[in-house]
Amino acid sequence: MTHSALVDSAAGDDPAVGLRAVRSLRELADRLESLQVARARQLGWSWQEVAEALGVSKQAVHKKHGRSK
């Protein structure tokens, strides 16, 4: 299913379909976040810089992603 189709499904009338689409979008966002945080850290970004880009606290981003670095 394409990303556009997921968005369309999430906005549809059937809650079962919509909620499955929301779950899929959340999983996709989590994977993308992990990839980009890892890349930022490889490029020398501080935890503070990553946190600011994500709009969260430094502690939150370090707790979620710190184990991979």
DSSP string across 32-57: HHHHHHHHHHHTT--HHHHHHHHTS-
For 2-29, how does the pLDDT look when each residue is reduced to its tens digit (9 = 90+)?
778 777 777 888 999 889 988 988 999 9
- Residue 50 burial (CB count, 10 A): 20
Domain that holds residue 18: 3-68
* pTM: predicted TM-score of the whole model, two decimal places: 0.78
Count of domains forming the chain: 1
